[in-house]
Amino acid sequence: PSPGRWIRLCSADFILALCISLFPGFSQGRVVGEDEAGFAECNVFFPGQVPPEGFTEPFHVKICQQYNREPRFATLYSTKDKIPLYSAFKYIKAAQNEEESWLVEPQVDDPDNDQQEMVLEADLVGTVANLGANQALTSDYVGSGYERGLLNPSLLNEEDFQTATYTLTNAVPLSPSLSKTWHRDVGRVVEQALAPHCPSKDHLYLLAGCDSFQHPCQGQGVRCPRCCGWRRAVTLQRGDLTLFKGSCGGDSKTKEKVEAILQAISQIRAGGQVGTNDSQESKESGLVRKVAGIIATPFIKLLELLIYLLVELVKFTFYFLWLVIKRVGSTILDGASSLWSGVVSYLQAISMVLISIPYDLGRVVANISLGFLEIVQDVAFLTYRILRIPVGFILHLAAFPYHSICAIPSVLKDLAAGIGGTFSLAVDATATLPARLLLRGQPHSQAVCP
């Protein structure tokens, strides 16, 4: 059960709750604790700040989605089925879809993680304990045949609000055709059927959810919604419901506005465009449009089926051609790669041989030069040994006259000294001879000298 003030577009897949209130608010994004009421700060994304009640399973996690330190929308997430039960958000301005960058919520898998806002999945690998244990990852959708359908559609948001919608805690598995229909028609319902009746667009509150889950999607850990699309039925929950309150239409014309919304939704289901005037002529033609829509719906469905089959056939054809081209291209590339490797190896071997030729030639020339120098050295040494003795003899012979001439003064000096000595001895001998003869002729006597 849930409180009043919301319209439910119910089906086997989706519940689109559209609420209008007067009290916008501010919040900080985080995984809401069990001891806090509702979605804590994120209650402002609900009319009257009162979220739906009755979701009390232990695997239901309340997330206040935050991006760039600002709250963007609220999500009730099932960690058991790894898909959101619903997302609540405000509609302010639609915008073209930007590039998709899928985000995850760290605290869903790791409650003790201190990151309180969504982060790119690639940036969390290895930093979050048990990443993917309680929430879906991109790998869960790979090869499953399903696309990530946004409960809070990106086309109903702009700038950072749009970037924040690309979180896997805001996505449910949808078939490609249903995903396209959902994202197209929900934008038309909001822009053409609801926004014109609420002058202050920042007071238009929306809540989108999905129905029960039956089986895992193609064996993945993510469970798929039960069936079909949101356009199978449109119902209005009544009771104490107040659709347009205060400055957003709380007057006697509320019933007429509700009928206008339902007519606009029926027209969107039929594939038509919705006008924004409430003239009497438009009211009178409403029944005609309903009948035309009922009549045209089977043909539109048939046309959609044919278009879907044609698109799938074209996709299959292109996929088959892609596989063929990929296989042929892979074979050609492998062959070219092998050929290129062989050519490179051959050129490398030839280059090494060609480079080694000058090197070897230089080594041979150097060895020959060194050998020649050794021969010249040996010849010179042998010549020196042969010529060393005669040269010494000749030098000594040539020096003999010089030494002989130089020795004459010394010889003459020595000769003169010898002759002088001889003459001196002769003179001394002659002088002492008479005295000796005289002494020899006299008698010997003892002479005493006084």
Report residue 254's pLDDT band, with 50, 70 and 90 as the boundaries. low
Long-range pairs of 210-213 with CB within 8 A, sequence gap ≥ 24: 210/13, 210/14, 210/15, 210/83, 210/84, 210/85, 210/86, 210/151, 210/172, 211/10, 211/11, 211/12, 211/13, 211/14, 211/15, 213/78, 213/81, 213/83
CATH topology of domain 7-239: Extracellular Endonuclease; Chain A (3.40.570)
> CA–CA separation, 208 vs 17, rounded Å?
6
> CA–CA separation, 161 vs 347, rounded Å?
59
- Of the chain, the end-to-end C-alpha distance in Å amounts to 182
Beta bridge mates, 119:
104
pLDDT at 447: 46
pLDDT > 70? residue 289: no
pLDDT > 60? residue 248: no
The residue ranking higher by pLDDT, 318 or 122, is 318
Exposure string of 42-54, with b = 16+ CB inside 10 Å and e = fewer, is bbbbbbbeebbee
Which of the residue ranges 12-16, 118-122, 301-305, 428-432 would you say has the lowest mean pLDDT? 12-16
Report residue 279's pLDDT band, with 50, 70 and 90 as the boundaries. very low
The residue ranking higher by pLDDT, 228 or 202, is 202
* Chain CA centroid to CA 254, Å: 54
> CA–CA separation, 151 vs 207, rounded Å?
8
> CA–CA separation, 176 vs 400, rounded Å?
127
pLDDT at 313: 92
pLDDT > 70? residue 22: no
Q: Where are the domains of the chain?
A: 7-239, 309-412
Report the pLDDT averaged over residues 232-257. Answer: 47
Report residue 310's pLDDT band, with 50, 70 and 90 as the boundaries. very high
pLDDT at 450: 47
- β-bridge pairing 83-91 and 223-225: unpaired
pTM, whole model, 2 decimals? 0.49
Q: What is the pLDDT of residues 363-404, one digit of tens each?
A: 899 999 998 999 999 888 888 877 776 666 777 777 777 777
The residue ranking higher by pLDDT, 335 or 243, is 335
pLDDT at 324: 92
Mean pLDDT for all residues in the chain: 74
Query: What DSSP string runs through 172-202?
Result: EEE-HHHHHHHHHHHHHIIIIIIGGG-SSGG
* Chain CA centroid to CA 232, Å: 43
pLDDT at 290: 67
Q: What is the pLDDT of residues 83-138, one digit of tens each?
A: 888 999 888 777 777 777 787 777 777 777 777 667 777 777 777 777 877 788 88
CB 141 within 8 A of CB 220: yes
Report the pLDDT averaged over residues 265-276. Answer: 62
pLDDT > 50? residue 246: no
- CA 213 vs CA 76, 147, 216, 258: distances in Å: 15, 16, 8, 31
> CA–CA separation, 24 vs 46, rounded Å?
9
pLDDT at 367: 92
Q: Residue 66, Cβ neighbours under 10 Å: how many?
A: 21
Residues 6+ apart with CB under 8 A from 18: 6, 7, 9, 190, 194, 204, 205, 206, 207
Q: What is the pLDDT of residues 45-58, one digit of tens each?
A: 888 888 888 787 88
> CA–CA separation, 124 vs 122, rounded Å?
6
Q: What percent of the chain has pLDDT over 70?
A: 72
Report the pLDDT averaged over residues 16-25. Answer: 35
Q: Which helix (H) or strand (E) holds 223?
A: strand 223-225
The residue ranking higher by pLDDT, 377 or 41, is 377
Residues 6+ apart with CB under 8 A from 268: 185, 188, 189, 192, 193, 274
